[in-house]
């Protein structure tokens, strides 16, 4: 995977050695961004399930998910993960997060565009993602980057928690 670096920002592949730092950053981001969108109990439950080192390793080793790190002035401030979806020619953006204090600087869009190029290279014609319906800031950012709301879903997540999401989609064909 190609490295991208401009204006003090680098987008680099993440490997298993980066997973502890990635999980730690996820906790910081989620605890800052998601209160008011989902409950603190759901934040902690989802972090424990989605960002355990075992889960992250499994995603890399067995599910074909690629991880990226975004560094600004050599500081790890964001990450993304993408991989195959069930439909041929479709890839899914599983994760795309940036420290809230870094929002509004174009870093998230650059990370998203890097993911789009990577999935195109893997043959994807469409990129999809799931975003919480109450996460207006993210929905706006995805729409600004060419994604449209394709459907509305509610998914059981365990322990009585649900993910009440929009599935957003972007056509990657020229």
- Domains of the chain, residue spans: 4-171
For residues 5 and 12, what is the distance between their CA atoms, to the nearest angstrom?
Answer: 8
SS3 at position 107: helix
pLDDT at position 174 is 79
Whole-model pTM: value is 0.94
pLDDT at position 3 is 54
Longest dimension (CA), the chain: 44
Rounded to an integer, what is the distance from CA 52 to the centroid of its chain?
A: 16
Instruction: Show the tokens assigned to 93.
Output: 């953006």
pLDDT at position 4 is 57
Choose among 84, 92, 165, 89: nearest CA to 131: 165
Residues of the chain with pLDDT under 70: 1-6
Q: What angle (nearest 5°) sits at the alpha carbon of residue 126, between those of residues 3 and 108?
A: 45
Mean pLDDT of the chain: 95
Second CATH level (architecture) for the domain 4-171: 3-Layer(aba) Sandwich (3.40)
Counting every residue written for the chain, the total comes to 174
């Amino acid at each position: 995977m190609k490295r991208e670096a401009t204006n003090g920002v680098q987008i680099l592949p993440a490997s298993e050695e980066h997973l502890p730092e990635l999980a730690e950053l996820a906790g910081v981001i989620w605890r800052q961004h998601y209160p008011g969108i989902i409950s603190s109990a759901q934040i902690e439950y989802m972090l424990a399930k989605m960002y355990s080192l075992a889960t992250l390793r499994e995603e890399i080793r067995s599910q074909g998910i690629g991880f990226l790190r975004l560094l600004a002035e050599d500081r790890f401030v964001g990450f993304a993960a993408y991989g195959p979806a069930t439909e041929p020619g479709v890839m899914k953006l599983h994760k795309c997060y940036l420290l809230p204090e870094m929002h509004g600087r174009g870093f998230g869009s650059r990370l998203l565009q890097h993911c789009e190029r990577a999935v195109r290279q893997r043959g994807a014609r469409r990129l999809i993602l799931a975003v919480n319906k109450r996460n207006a800031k993210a929905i706006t950012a995805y729409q600004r980057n060419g994604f449209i709301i394709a459907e509305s879903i509610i998914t059981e997540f365990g322990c009585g928690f649900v993910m009440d999401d929009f599935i957003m989609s972007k056509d990657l064909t020229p």
